[in-house]
């Protein structure tokens, strides 16, 4: 008796052609922002969200060969989200810790981020194609231009390396009593990142980005 072979769904992958088109498009978006906002300094930011919760997740850690490092594990399910944006060249960053990912919270994040920009600055912000990023009801401030990443291209967003760093250094193997504790841990981790002035540039200023900006 033969069984029908179950087809395993494949995950679409970005093609080099699509990635190269994005990099060229990003350069064009920066140039378009310069033309549309003469006299203003154009800054390039990358934005993303990370979920942090009691359930936690494993991460890489240095330890003795042949032994597993000890770690605390929680099986509760309360969580929150870090909305973050970084500027790899100037090492600047901005974040809010919010209870959910939605068009409403994304609108709030953009509004608060826009307030931090000086009057003579316009931000080009790169972000992925999540539904709350592309919603028709998303309110984008006049001093921000949004540029979407191509589908299935998290490696093209340098903020992914920020989340990896924060999880490995601050946000794994911890026990938090409630959401307030999670929020405090997220704020402490982000503030530690910002205080380490060279860390953002080290993690995010990738060779392909240097070519785009130069």
pLDDT tier for residue 19 given thresholds of 50, 70 and 90: confident
Q: Which of 174, 186, 213 is nearest to 82 (CA)?
A: 186
pTM: 0.86
Task: Give the separation between CA 139 and CA 136, rounded to whole angstroms.
Answer: 8
**Averaged pLDDT for residues 60-77:** 74
180: pLDDT strictly greater than 70: yes
87: pLDDT strictly greater than 60: yes
36: pLDDT strictly greater than 80: yes
Q: Domain count of the chain?
A: 1
The domain that holds 115 is classified in CATH as 3.30.420.10
Interior CA angle at 176 toward 65 and 59, to 5°? 30
Residues 6+ apart with CB under 8 A from 107: 138, 139
pLDDT tier for residue 56 given thresholds of 50, 70 and 90: low
Q: Which residue has the higher pLDDT, 86 or 2?
A: 86
Q: Residue 10 domain-assigned?
A: no
- Provide the domain limits for residue 119: 20-213
DSSP 146: E
Q: Residue 3 domain-assigned?
A: no
């Amino acid at each position: 008796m033969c069984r029908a072979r179950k087809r395993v769904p494949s995950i679409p992958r970005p093609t080099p052609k699509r990635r190269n088109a994005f990099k060229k498009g990003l350069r064009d978006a920066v140039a378009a922002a310069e033309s549309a906002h003469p006299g203003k300094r154009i800054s390039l930011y990358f934005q993303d969200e990370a979920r942090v919760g009691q359930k936690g997740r494993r991460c890489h850690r240095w330890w003795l060969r042949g032994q597993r490092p000890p770690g605390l594990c929680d099986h509760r399910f309360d969580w929150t989200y870090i909305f973050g944006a970084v500027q790899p060249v100037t090492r600047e960053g901005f974040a809010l810790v919010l209870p959910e990912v939605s068009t409403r919270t994304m609108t709030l994040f953009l509004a608060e981020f826009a307030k931090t920009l000086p009057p003579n600055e316009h931000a080009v912000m790169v972000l992925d194609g999540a539904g709350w990023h592309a919603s028709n009801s998303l309110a984008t401030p006049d001093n921000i231009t949004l540029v979407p990443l191509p589908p299935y291209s998290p490696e093209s967003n340098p903020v992914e390396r920020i989340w990896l760093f924060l999880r490995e250094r601050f946000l794994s193997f911890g026990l938090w009593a409630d959401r307030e504790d999670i929020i405090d841990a997220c704020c402490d981790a982000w503030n530690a990142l910002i205080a380490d002035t060279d860390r953002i540039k080290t993690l995010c200023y990738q060779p392909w980005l240097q070519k785009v900006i130069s």
